[in-house]
Structure formats: C-alpha cells, structure tokens
Amino acid sequence: MFKALGDNTRYAIYLELARATSPKSTAEIAETLELASNTVRPHLERMRDIGLLQVAVDAKGTVGRPQHRYSLSPDAPSLGLEPSSWPILARMLADVAAFMAPEPADVAALGEEQGRAAADRRRGRPCIDALVDALAELGFDPATAAEGRVASIAFTNCPFRELAEQYPDLVCNLHRGLIEGFVDELGGADVTAFATLADRDPCHVDLIVTG
C-alpha cells in the first residue's frame, strides 16, 4: 500500500479522499487537483485494486452511466487526516459514555471485541509481533523490550491521549480490553500487567509468551 502511495499523483488523490467528509467522484477529484479525469481514473482503479479505496455506484440524478464515488477503505491507513468532525464526535461519545458510568469490566469487554477482530486478520504470526504491528497501525508507536519469555511493549505515543487524559477510566480500559482480546484470540501469550497514564508514562503492557 505504501509503495503505491510513493507516486505523487496517487498520494495527492489519497490525501484528498482522506480529508473528504463524503465519497468523491472521479470528476470531483480531478477538478480539485486540477488534473484530467483520464489521468485520475487509472490511479483510482489501482488504489482500489490493492485495497486502499472502496467504490460505491451512484445512479441517482445522473444521465447516462452511473457515477463511481471513491472513499478510503476501512482498513486503509488514515495518515492522521481524519475529517475534522471525527474528533468532535469522539468527544461527544466519550461524554455520553462517561455520563452513563459503565463498569470497567464492561468497557474492557467492548475493547476485547475489537481486539479479537484485529487478531483474526493476523493469524499465523507470533502473537507479540502481530500485536506490535497492530499497535503501530493504530498510531501507538510501540517500543518492545524482551528477555526470555517476558516482553514489555511501551506505547511511546497515544493517539487517544487527549481523551485518555479527560476520561482515563473509559479510554484506558477500552485500550486494555483491545489488547487482552487480541492476545486471547491469537494465543501464544498472556497479558500479565497493563499500565495506564495513572501508573506510568509511557503506558505499557507486559506479556509472557506461552506458546
């Protein structure tokens, strides 16, 4: 995926779609970037073929062939360019969740579901290596220290830090559940400790290899 983004035109198209709040047509992208539609179209198809983009067919209100509208695929890297509305939505949802005062175990259970789904896409790899890759994709910039069967993964960057500082019980328990669900689903290791902002900076997780 990142090799494909090494092309300047594809990178410019990708940035435009990463910033967009709704799917865009070939003509809209071409107009914004001041390129010909025939120039943009093969780049869009290339990025769709390798899983960077998804396409929807819009036949409403058009004459002739339906329009194809492109957006980032759910698994594509966002490059930190999520639409500005997303952080606002995240804060509002965090406000709602904090108001409801859920139990830490219930919050962690929600994170576990996401962790299991992430692990399912990485079957066949050693658990620690797969977990480090998953955390890197999420933006945690993990740093690993290992001795024998014991490993510690530090989160040198927290992409959720702003919300974690406001709602540590909520955000940190979601993160803990995500890691525990990931490790439990993939197998080969057990979580022995999870340190949050309240315990240590940087936060980290300690594991022991069992397989």
Say if residue 28 is in the same domain as residue 126.
no
Whole-angstrom Cα distance, residue 177 to residue 158?
Answer: 16
Whole-angstrom Cα distance, residue 85 to residue 89?
Answer: 6
Number of separate domains in the chain:
2
Per-position b or e across 54-66, b if 16+ CB within 10 A of its CB: bbeeeeeeeeeee
Closest CA to 156 of 136, 175, 174: 136
pLDDT tens, N- to C-terminus, the chain (211 residues): 777 778 888 888 988 888 777 789 999 999 989 999 999 999 999 999 988 899 988 755 455 567 889 998 877 766 655 555 667 778 888 889 888 889 989 999 999 999 999 898 888 899 999 999 999 888 888 999 999 999 999 998 888 888 888 898 899 999 999 999 999 999 999 999 998 877 766 789 999 999 7
**Among 22, 41, 72, where does a domain finish?**
72
Name every residue whose Cβ is closer than 8 Å to that of residue 195 and which is 6 or more positions away in sequence: 203, 204, 205, 206
Q: Which amino acid is at 86?
A: W
Say if residue 18 is in the same domain as residue 54.
yes
Q: What CATH number is given to the structural domain containing 17? A: 1.10.10.10
pTM (2 d.p.) = 0.61
Whole-angstrom Cα distance, residue 15 to residue 180?
Answer: 33
Residue 114's SS3 state is helix
In-domain check, residue 80? no
**Among 72, 104, 126, where does a domain finish?**
72
Whole-angstrom Cα distance, residue 185 to residue 134?
Answer: 14
Instruction: Give the domain extent around 127.
Output: 85-209
Say if residue 22 is in the same domain as residue 115.
no
Q: Which amino acid is at 79?
A: L
Say if residue 45 is in the same domain as residue 113.
no
In-domain check, residue 78? no
Say if residue 182 is in the same domain as residue 134.
yes
**Among 50, 72, 94, where does a domain finish?**
72
